[in-house]
A and B are shown apart, each in its own frame.
Chain A
Amino acid sequence: MSRKWLIDNQGLFFMAPAMILFVVFVLYPIFYIFGASLYDWDGINEAAYVGLGNYIEMFTDDRAFSVAIRNSIYWTFLTIFPQMFLGFTLASILTSGIPFQNIFRIIFFMPAIISPVVLGIIWQRIYAPFGGLLADIGFETGARFLVQPYLSDPKIAIFSTIFVNVWQWTGFSMLMYVAGLQGLPEEVLSAAEVDGASVRQRVQYIIWPMLRHVHLTLILLGVIGTLQTFALVYMLTKGGPNHATEMLPTYIFLKAFPLQSMGYASAVAVVLLVIALSASIFQVRVLGSRFTIGG
Chain B
Amino acid sequence: MTRRHTAKALAFAFVTVLALVWLVPIIMMLVVSFMPPDQRAPRFGGMLISGVSLKNYVTVFEDAEIVQHFINSMAVTIPSVFLVVVISSLAAFALARLKFFARDIWFYLLIMTLMLPIPTLVVPIFQINKALGLNDNYLGLILPYTALGVPFAIVILRSFFAGFLKEIEEAAVLDGCTPFGIYWRVMMPVSWPAIAVVIIWQFMTSWNEFILALVTMNTNQVKPLTLVPLVYSGQFMMRPGPMFAILTLITLPVILVYYLMQRFMVSGLTSGAVRG
Kindly provide the distance from the CB of A30 to the nearest chain B CB, expressed in whole angstroms.
8
Q: Is the CB of B211 within 8 A of A276?
A: no
- A291 close to B117 (CB less than 8 A): no
Known A11-B103, A21-B146; contact A128-B45, beta-carbon cutoff 8 A = yes
Contact of B66 with A by CB under 8 A: no
| Residue A118 interfacial (CB < 8 Å) | yes
B121→A29 contact, CB < 8 A: yes
Q: Is A26 an interface residue (CB 8 A)?
A: yes
Residue of B whose beta carbon sits closest to that of A211: B274
A117 CB contact (under 8 Å) in B154, B160, B183, B226: B226
From B44, B114, B150, B208, contact of A133 by CB (8 A): B44
Q: In the complex, what distance in Å separates the CA atom of A270 from the CA atom of B119? A: 11
- Contact flags B237-263 to A (C-beta < 8 A → 1, else 0): 000100110010011001100100010
Give chain A's interface residue range (CB within 8 Å of chain B).
35 or more
- Picked from A17, A29, A266, the residue with its CB within 8 Å of the CB of B87 is A17
Question: CB < 8 Å: which of A118, A128, A234, A273 contacts B116?
Answer: A273
Known contacts A14-B94, A18-B87; is-contact A276 B117 (Cβ 8 Å): yes
**Contact A231–B210 (Cβ < 8 Å):** yes
> For chain A residues 263-281, which have a beta carbon within 8 Å of chain B?
265-266, 269-270, 272-273, 276-277, 279-280
Binary flags per residue of B25-60, CB closer than 8 Å to A gives 1, else 0: 110110010000000011111110000000000000
Tell me whether A115 and B121 are in contact (CB under 8 A). Answer: no
Inter-subunit contact B14/A93 (CB<8 Å): yes
- Count of chain B residues near A, Cβ 8 A: 103
Which residues from A are CB-within-8-Å of B255?
A: 110, 113-114
For window 95-117 of chain A, which residues contact chain B by CB distance below 8 Å?
96, 98-99, 104, 106-108, 110-111, 113-117
Is the beta-carbon distance between A22 and B110 smaller than 8 angstroms? yes
Most buried by A among B29, B155, B273: B273
Decide if B123 is an interface residue (CB 8 Å cutoff): yes
CA of A123 to CA of B211, assembled, Å: 20
Q: Nearest Cβ distance between residue B170 and chain A, in whole angstroms? A: 17
Q: Is there contact, CB below 8 Å, between A29 and B124?
A: yes
Q: Give the distance in Å from the alpha carbon of A273 to the alpha carbon of B124 in the complex.
A: 13
Complex CA–CA separation, A187 to B243 (angstroms): 54
Contact in complex: A265, B123 (CB < 8 Å): yes
A94 touches B15 (CB 8 A): yes
Main secondary structure of the interface of A (DSSP, over half): helix
Min Cβ gap A230→B in Å is 5
Shortest CB-to-CB span from A247 to chain B, Å, is 9
Tell yes or no: B23 within 8 A of A by CB: yes
Identity of the chain A residue whose Cβ is nearest the Cβ of B243 in the assembled complex: A121
A25 touching B144, Cβ below 8 Å: yes
B177 contacts chain A at the CB level, 8 A cutoff = no
CB pair A180–B123 under 8 Å, yes or no, is no
Closest B residue, CB atoms, query A179: B270
Q: Is A52 an interface residue (CB 8 A)?
A: no
Contact count A vs B, C-beta below 8 Å: 295
Given A125-B32, A179-B270, A224-B117 in contact, is the A118-B251 Cβ separation under 8 Å? Answer: yes
Give the residues in chain A near B112, CB-CB below 8 Å.
Answer: 277
What CA separation (Å) do A105 and B121 show in the bound complex?
Answer: 35
- Chain B 191-231: CB-based contact to A (< 8 A → 1; otherwise 0): 00000000000001001101100110000000000110110
Say whether, besides A25-B125, A29-B128, A104-B19, A14 and B247 are in contact (CB < 8 Å): no
Q: Is the CB of B101 within 8 A of A12?
A: yes
> Across the interface, which residues of A come within 8 angstroms of B230, CB to CB?
117
> Are the C-beta atoms of A107 and B156 separated by less than 8 Å?
no
Within 8 A of A (CB), among B67-101: 86-88, 90-91, 93-95, 98-101
Interface: A167 (CB within 8 A) = yes
Bound complex: CA of A27 vs CA of B106, how far in Å? 12
The answer to the question of B190 belonging to the interface, with a C-beta cut-off of 8 Å to chain A, is no
Taking the closest CB of chain A, its distance from the CB of B187, in whole angstroms, is 12
Partner of B147 from the list A24, A98, A217, A277 (CB cut-off 8 Å) is A24
For residue A122, CB closer than 8 A to chain B, the reply is yes
Contact (Cβ within 8 A) B90 A122: no
**A-B residue pairs in contact (CB < 8 Å), sample of 22:** A8-B100, A11-B94, A14-B90, A14-B91, A14-B183, A15-B95, A29-B128, A90-B15, A110-B255, A111-B22, A111-B25, A114-B26, A122-B26, A122-B29, A213-B276, A249-B211, A253-B119, A256-B126, A269-B123, A276-B120, A293-B272, A295-B159
